[in-house]
Amino acid sequence: MHPLFEKAGECARHIKGHSEALVISHIDADGVASAAIMCKMLEREGIDYEVRFLKQLDSAALNEIADIGKQLAIFTDLGSTMIDQINALGMNVVIADHHQPSGGGVCHLNPHLFGINGANELSGSGATYLIGRAMGSNRDLADLAVVGAVGDLQDSREGRLIGINRQILEEGVEAGVLSFEPDIRLFGRQTRPVHKLLEYCSYPYIPGITGDKEGCLRFLSDLGIKLKEDDWRRWIELHKDEKQQIVSGLMRLCMASGIPPYKVERLVGEVYTLLKEEEGTEPRDASEYSTLLNATARYGHAEIGLAVCMGDRGDAYTFAHNLLAQHRHNLSNGLNFVRDKGVITLENLQYFHAGDNIQDTIVGIVAGMSAGIEGVNRALPIIALADAEGGIKVSARGTQDLVGRGLNLAVALRGAAEQVGGTGGGHDIAAGATIPRGAEEKFISILNEKIRLQLGDGHEQCNV
């Protein structure tokens, strides 16, 4: 048995020895899915639980958690960067996380500790699922683990889930809760009219398609695609040959526009369907489901996302839908801000400071989506800053090419943040930090130098 699975079993046995637990998780799709998996496991074991969601885990939050006095604290999708502080408090914990860890010595399930990449081989919800798998008959929860992994963009590098994520996917297929197939990888397959699916394509940015409703309608009409029956047709309602026509047409258009092949290839890949969910709804598709969860968690309502994951398709689901509409509007405004203001380019990075124009909880999503904007250079990592309560939120996004050259944003942001009195961490390809207000210029200067060292001969290595 792989040591990772042995550790999952150890964590499962530790949880079973308690009658109550406090579950603490992160405010994104992976964090909400992680919490839901853990809560369902605890319910099945008859263990009482309480749930807290955190924007970030710091010393103040840890002290508050310790003061609650629960028998056991279970951290899902966070905790790995605060191991030393957890140890110092003498807390009884289980951690199921996938961010690059800063230490050891606790009941800690993290892929990095076993030579597995937590950025694309196992998510936080995947780590939580492994504990549930070791605890009992919980393989039906693989669908939520896949939602969390997709929400964490763990399928973006290869256009498919790999590593332990792949094993979890296959277990979900065997359990009858998941299916997968090659298809177009644009957001909204289940819910958007086909022309809207194309109109909101941001990566790659396709001239005459992206942001151009009339261009999309004309493109589809020229292909002979029937757009309406009783209502606008969605992607899931198209015939296989119609889908192939559209994909082929998009690829021809991309090549005629000079879009690099690696961007064109991203149009098609694996998609993941949750078989127990109603067709034509967001939870039916892993990508749309994860965005729905993000829309709750990023706006201070992670408990609504948790309720949806736990099965609520009434008031909580309606509330989540309303939040999703606002989330889409805010992302669109955020992208327009970056498009209008542009980015500042240094030798080794590019950045923008959104101030209070983009909410700190979504500025990282906007940074990731900015890759398709004219003037944003994919050969450099992009750093986004935004005003936040008590400081400045920093989110950074890189590419697999940069990671292959030595980029490790988790290490770079952690080091730069600490030098200005902040904290940071995450993954090699995506990371975040919180720094004091007024320290932005110094932080960016330090970060620029750290990234230079990583991409040059003297790579900074990740201490895991």
Q: Is the pLDDT of residue 30 over 80?
A: yes
Average pLDDT over all residues of the chain: 93
| pLDDT score at 412 | 97
| pLDDT score at 324 | 92
- Cα 121–chain centre separation: 13
Q: Is the pLDDT of residue 356 over 60?
A: yes
- For residues 437-452, average pLDDT: 97
Residue 383's SS3 state is: strand
286 burial level (CB within 10 Å; 0-12, 13-18, 19+) = buried
| pLDDT score at 176 | 98
Q: Nearest Cα to 430, choosing from 461, 372, 389, 384?
A: 384
Q: Is the pLDDT of residue 463 over 80?
A: no
How far apart (Å, rounded) are the C-alpha atoms in residues 125 and 80?
14
| pLDDT score at 457 | 52
Q: For the beta carbon of residue 87, count every other beta carbon within 10 angstroms.
A: 14
Query: Which pLDDT tens digit goes with each residue over 280-305?
Result: 999 999 999 999 999 999 999 999 99
Structural domains of the chain in order of their starting residue, each with its CATH number: 3-175 (3.90.1640.30), 178-274 (no CATH), 342-455 (3.10.310.40)
Tell me 233's DSSP state.
P
Query: Which pLDDT tens digit goes with each residue over 101-112?
Result: 987 777 999 999
Q: Which of 18-27, 310-319, 449-458 has the lowest mean pLDDT?
A: 449-458
Q: Nearest Cα to 398, choosing from 79, 119, 99?
A: 119
| pLDDT score at 157 | 84
Strongest mean pLDDT among 69-73, 162-166, 296-300, 329-333: 162-166
Q: Is the pLDDT of residue 352 over 60?
A: yes
Q: Are 375 and 352 a contacting pair, CB within 8 Å? A: no
How far apart (Å, rounded) are the C-alpha atoms in residues 8 and 130?
6
Q: Which two tokens stand for residue 9?
A: 């079993």
Query: Which pLDDT tens digit goes with each residue over 206-249?
Result: 889 987 899 999 999 999 999 998 899 999 999 999 999 999 99
Determine the residue type at 12.
A
Would you place residue 459 in the very low, low, confident or very high pLDDT band (cuts 50, 70, 90)?
very low
- For residues 422-430, average pLDDT: 90
Q: Is the pLDDT of residue 461 over 50?
A: no
How far apart (Å, rounded) are the C-alpha atoms in residues 33 and 272?
15
| pLDDT score at 211 | 79
- For residues 146-157, average pLDDT: 94
| pLDDT score at 378 | 82
Q: Is the pLDDT of residue 128 over 60?
A: yes
- For residues 22-34, average pLDDT: 97
Q: What percent of the chain has pLDDT over 90?
A: 80
Q: Is the pLDDT of residue 464 over 50?
A: no
Query: Which pLDDT tens digit goes with each residue over 396-420?
Result: 999 888 998 999 999 999 999 999 9
Please, which residues bridge with residue 353 across strands? 385
| pLDDT score at 94 | 97
| pLDDT score at 64 | 94
| Cis? peptide before 182, omega within 30° of 0 | no
Q: Which two tokens stand for residue 165?
A: 């994520």
